[in-house]
Amino acid sequence: MSSEPSRIFYTKPSITEAEVAAITAAARDGWGERCYESILRFEGLFRDFVGSTYALATSSCTGALHMGLAALGVGPGDEVILGDNNWIASAAPVTYLGATPVFVDVLASSWCLDPDKVEAAITPKTRAIMAVHVYGNLCDLDRLLEIGARHGIPVIEDAAEAVGSKWFGPAGERHAGSRGAFGAFSFHGTKTITTGEGGMFVTSDRALYERVLTLSNHGRIAGESRQFWPGVVGFKYKMSNIQAALGCAQMARVDALIDQKRAIFRRYADALAPLDGVTMNPEPPGTQNGYWMPTAVFAPSLGVTREALLTAFRAANIDGRVFFWPLSSLPMFSPQPEHVVAYGLPGRAFNLPSYHDLTPAEQDRVVAVVERVVADARAARGA
C-alpha cells in the first residue's frame, strides 16, 4: 500500500447535489420555449448580486471583454492600457480588434495597475484603461476613474478573479465590476463560482448593453422581424442553458462560497504571519477581498524562489501554481524589463491551494512546505 499523502489540488469547484439536479433538469427540460430560461435567471441573479443594471451571460470572460471593447469602438490603431502582471486573456481581446495593449508596471502593494504609470502612458491613441483585479485584489479604481474622466477615456473592469471583492463607502457597498464602463467576470472551473466555462458582461450603460447584446447574437438586432437577419457582423459568445443552470445553483450559495474562500485565506495568513518577509493579498481599509487565489510573496532577502517552491510542493504531492508572468515577457510581445515590480514578482511569488473544501489539515501540509522552503533558503544564505 502506498504511503504517499493524498493529492492537494490548487483549486477545484464546489459541486453539490443541488448543482447536479439543476444541470439535469436543464438538460431534460431546457429546450424549445424554455431554451433561455436558466440563462435569463442566471443573468438576473448575477446582475442583482453585483449591483449593475444589465448583465449578459457569455461563454467566457474573454468573450465578454472582446464584445465590450468592440462596443466601445476599440479598433485598429487604438491603444488599451493594462497592467503587465495578468493572464493573457486580458490582453488577447485587445489584439483581436487590431488594437495594441499598452502594458504598464503594477503596484508592489496590490499587484494591480499603478495609476501614475497609467496616466504617463496615455496618448492620443488611448481608447480604454483596463483595470484587472488580480487574484481578487482591488485596483485603485477611485484614482483610475478620475484619470479616465479627466482624459475622456473609459475605464473597464476585468473582474474575472474578483467575485466577492468590493468597496464600502458612504453610498454603500460596490462590487468589483460594477463601477467601470463595463465589467467582465469568469466562471471557469477554477473560479469562486463556476459554470464549467463561462463569463458575464455587466454594465449600467443601456446603450453599451444594447450594442453588446446585438454583437453577442451574430449581429441580430433585438426586435428584428426577419428571421436569421443580422444587421452587423457579430460574435458567438453565448452561454448554454445547461451551464447557466449550474450558475443559478452556484448563485444560491454564492455568499457561503465567498466566505469559504475568505476563511481559507485567513487560516493561511495567520499561519504564515510569524514568517518575516512573507506577505499575502492585501485588504485595504474600506474594502473586502474575495481572495480568489491566496498568494504568498517572499521578500528578496529570503532567497526563496519559484523553482524551489515548485520542487518542494511536487515532492509533497501538492499542486503548485506560479504567479502570472509579465505579459510583456511573453514571445508575442516586446520585453519591458523596466517594469521592475512586474518583472520582480513572479520569481518569488506563489499561489497557494484554495479550493472550497480544503481542510485545515491540508492547509497545515501546505504551510509546512512553505516553512521548510523558507528555512532551507535562510540556511543556504547563512541567515
List pLDDT tens digits, range 70-116: 999 999 999 999 999 999 999 999 999 999 999 999 999 999 999 99
State the amino acid at position 16 in one-letter form. T
Cβ-based neighbours of 153, under 8 Å, separated by 6 or more: 122, 126, 127, 128, 129, 147
- pLDDT score of 125: 98
The CATH class of 17-251 is: alpha beta
* pTM of structure: 0.96
47, containing H or E segment: helix 37-50
Chain centroid offset of residue 289 CA: 12
Domain boundaries, the chain: 17-251, 255-380
> Per CATH, the architecture of 255-380 is what?
Alpha-Beta Complex (3.90)
Q: How many other CB atoms sit within 10 Å of the CB of residue 347? A: 15
- pLDDT score of 47: 98
- pLDDT score of 342: 98
State the amino acid at position 272 in one-letter form. L
- pLDDT score of 241: 97
Phi, psi of 113 (to 5 degrees): -40, 130
State the amino acid at position 289 in one-letter form. N
- pLDDT score of 51: 97
Q: Which residues of the chain have pLDDT under 70?
A: 1-3, 383
- pLDDT score of 383: 55
In sequence order, the β-bridge partners of residue 56 are 201
Per DSSP, 128 falls in state E
CA proximity to 149, closest of 103, 98, 115 = 115
CB 196 within 8 A of CB 214: no
Q: How many other CB atoms sit within 10 Å of the CB of residue 261? A: 26
In sequence order, the β-bridge partners of residue 100 are 79
Question: At CA 179, angle to CA 177 and CA 183, rounded to 5?
Answer: 30
CB 127 within 8 A of CB 79: yes
CB 161 within 8 A of CB 136: yes
Would you state the cell numbers that stand for residue 188, as one nine-digit string?
Answer: 471557469
- Tens digits of per-residue pLDDT, 103-143? 999 999 999 999 999 999 999 999 999 999 999 999 999 99
CB-based burial, 119-155: b 16+ in 10 Å, e otherwise = bebbeeebbbbbbbbbbbbbbbbeebbebbeeeebbb
Place of cell 449550474: 246
- pLDDT score of 381: 84
State the amino acid at position 225 in one-letter form. S
CA distances from 26 to 35, 39, 57, 241, 252 (A): 9, 10, 16, 7, 16
Distance between CA atoms of residues 297 and 374, nearest Å = 12
